């Protein structure tokens, strides 16, 4: 009603002005005045149409397919008695409306739709790893209606990026911007093919930087967050600035419904460039390793350790003979800067060390015993396969793959033990993440559980878990777990190492 009243009031005012003008015109001689409309030289077309015209041809649609075994969702439909009630409906369609291949082998084609960005005129295209993961067939739809087969040059699951190549030349290219210069509040445009409806452009702003969602494996995340509408099919598409430069590769959304609610995430262009260059030159991504397990600084930790702020990361343990160990780093050190660049949290340190690569010299500023020291470290190469088999705590940030139990762990410390209500325990590992499809989750292991023993052997890190698991043989492993201040034994059947 208020809006309606405002509209009516405005109409009355306009009408009154009109009557006054009419009366005045009756009193004055009629005079015709011609005025030329002058457009300021700085004016241009409304919106960002010119920018979109330049960048849109460099954003493509990616269609991938792989053969998977069809699930028999309704086996009872083979019963003739049930069929007479429900009919034969479906016309031979397999689940989700996909037809089988007709070979009778129970396999079907599973198709995925995403977007990609042309980054070189000779046909290199960057997209998300999850768009082409496991694909036996990849096709690229170009602007103008052409469809071409694509070759997979390389794919990197930890960063969720992949590089494709099509046999073409003189293609439109989207120039890469510097994502480090992006600021919260900058306008951003998302270009892609959401839900398969065709190329679409949406607008928003950069809502945040340096986000880690944990929606992927959580290894190397440094997302730009945006409220530009991103939906399924936008994955691998472009996030651009108002200059028409690529600042991110759209990758994830946070939504309870699966649709856009204004929280989307893009991989920064600087990370994408680093991964893309390595995939193009060597087919794989090499990352640096420091050899520490770490945790973020809480306000209570900062107070108890007499730290000036919560910035930095606390070193829980140092791997023997690692770059950190050789540099003189100790448990209890707080890393506050790498190569004179401040470190705010564990995610930032993990990415800095990884992006430095192997054989890189790092200057590490640490806070120790009330004063700062500078350590010099020479990075090793991170081997993600070895990290997974070791139990999952030896990555650059202390959180590697989930290992044979399907959990990510961190060493127990005094503060964490106090927070979790654990009394008397000086050794153990805290479960920080649980794979919902892993053996630990099936057995009932939960986040914030503390694993004290594996097969009656005390454990303090992932390597000790792996060693203790070897005693299980064919039997389930017996875990002593502390939860809510009480101890409980849980039997878990670990995954085979070959399945990691």
Q: Hey, which residues are catalytic here? A: 130, 160, 235
The residues near 285 (Cβ < 8 Å, ≥ 6 apart) are 154, 156, 158, 159, 275, 278, 279
Residue 409 and residue 435 in contact, taking contact as beta carbons nearer than 8 Å:
no
Residue 468 and residue 476 in contact, taking contact as beta carbons nearer than 8 Å:
no
The SS3 of residue 409 is strand
* Dihedral sign for Cα atoms in the order 339, 341, 344, 348: negative
* The total number of residues written for the chain in this structure: 500
User: Tokens 């050899």 belong to which residue?
Assistant: 291
Say what angle helices 346-356 and 269-282 make with each other, to 10 degrees. 30
User: Tokens 């939504």 belong to which residue?
Assistant: 255
Q: What is the DSSP string of 271-284?
A: HHHHHHHHHHHHSS
CA distance 312 to 325: 19
The residues near 19 (Cβ < 8 Å, ≥ 6 apart) are none
Residue 302 and residue 309 in contact, taking contact as beta carbons nearer than 8 Å:
yes
The SS3 of residue 142 is coil
User: Tokens 């405002």 belong to which residue?
Assistant: 6
CA distance 246 to 261: 23
Rg (CA), the chain: 29
Q: What is the DSSP string of 206-271?
A: EEEEEE---SS--SS--EEEE-S---TT-TT-EEE-TTS-EEEEEEEE--SSSS-SS-EEEEEHHH
Q: Which helix (H) or strand (E) holds 130?
A: helix 129-132
């Amino acid at each position: 009603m208020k809006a309606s009243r405002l509209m009516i009031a405005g109409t009355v005012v306009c009408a009154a002005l009109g009557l006054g003008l009419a009366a005045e015109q009756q009193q004055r001689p009629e005079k015709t005045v011609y005025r030329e409309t002058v457009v300021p030289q700085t004016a241009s077309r409304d919106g960002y149409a010119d920018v979109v015209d330049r960048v849109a041809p460099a954003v493509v649609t990616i269609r991938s397919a792989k053969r998977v075994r069809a699930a028999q969702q309704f086996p009872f439909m083979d019963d003739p008695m049930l069929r007479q009630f429900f009919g034969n409906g479906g016309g031979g369609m397999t689940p989700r409306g996909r037809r089988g291949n007709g070979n009778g082998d129970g396999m079907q084609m599973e198709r995925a739709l995403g977007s990609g960005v042309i980054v070189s005129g000779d046909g290199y295209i960057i997209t998300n790893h999850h768009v082409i993961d496991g694909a036996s067939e990849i096709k690229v739809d170009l602007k103008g209606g052409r469809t071409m087969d694509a070759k997979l040059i390389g794919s990197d699951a930890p960063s969720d990026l992949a590089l494709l190549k099509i046999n073409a030349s003189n293609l439109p290219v989207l120039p890469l911007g510097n994502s480090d210069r992006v600021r919260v509040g900058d306008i951003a445009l998302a270009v892609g093919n959401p839900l398969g409806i065709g190329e679409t452009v949406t607008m928003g702003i950069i809502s945040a930087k340096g986000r880690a969602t944990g929606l992927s494996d959580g290894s190397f995340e440094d997302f730009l967050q945006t409220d530009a509408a991103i939906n399924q099919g936008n994955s691998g598409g472009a996030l651009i600035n108002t200059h028409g430069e690529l600042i991110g590769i759209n990758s994830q959304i946070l939504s309870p419904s699966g649709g856009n609610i204004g929280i989307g995430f893009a991989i920064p262009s600087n990370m994408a460039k680093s991964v893309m260059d390595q995939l193009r030159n060597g087919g794989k991504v090499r990352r640096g390793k420091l050899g520490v397990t770490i945790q973020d600084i809480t306000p209570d930790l900062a107070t108890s350790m007499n730290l000036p702020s919560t910035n930095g990361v606390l070193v829980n343990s140092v791997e023997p003979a690692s770059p950190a160990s050789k540099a003189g780093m100790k448990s209890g050190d707080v890393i506050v800067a790498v190569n004179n660049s401040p470190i705010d949290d564990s995610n930032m340190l993990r990415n800095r060390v990884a992006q430095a690569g192997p054989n890189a010299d790092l200057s590490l500023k640490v806070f120790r015993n009330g004063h700062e020291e500078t350590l010099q470290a020479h990075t090793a190469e991170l081997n993600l396969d070895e990290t997974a088999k070791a139990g999952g705590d030896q990555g650059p940030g202390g959180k590697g793959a989930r290992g044979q139990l399907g959990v990510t762990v961190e060493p127990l410390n005094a503060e964490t033990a106090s927070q979790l209500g654990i009394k008397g325990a000086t050794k153990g590992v805290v479960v920080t993440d649980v794979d919902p499809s892993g053996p630990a989750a099936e057995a009932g292991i939960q986040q914030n559980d503390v694993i004290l023993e594996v097969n009656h052997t005390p454990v303090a890190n992932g390597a000790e878990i792996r060693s203790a698991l070897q005693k299980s043989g064919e039997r389930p492993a017996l875990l002593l777990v502390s939860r809510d201040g009480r101890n409980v034994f849980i039997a878990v059947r670990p995954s085979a190492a070959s399945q990691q």
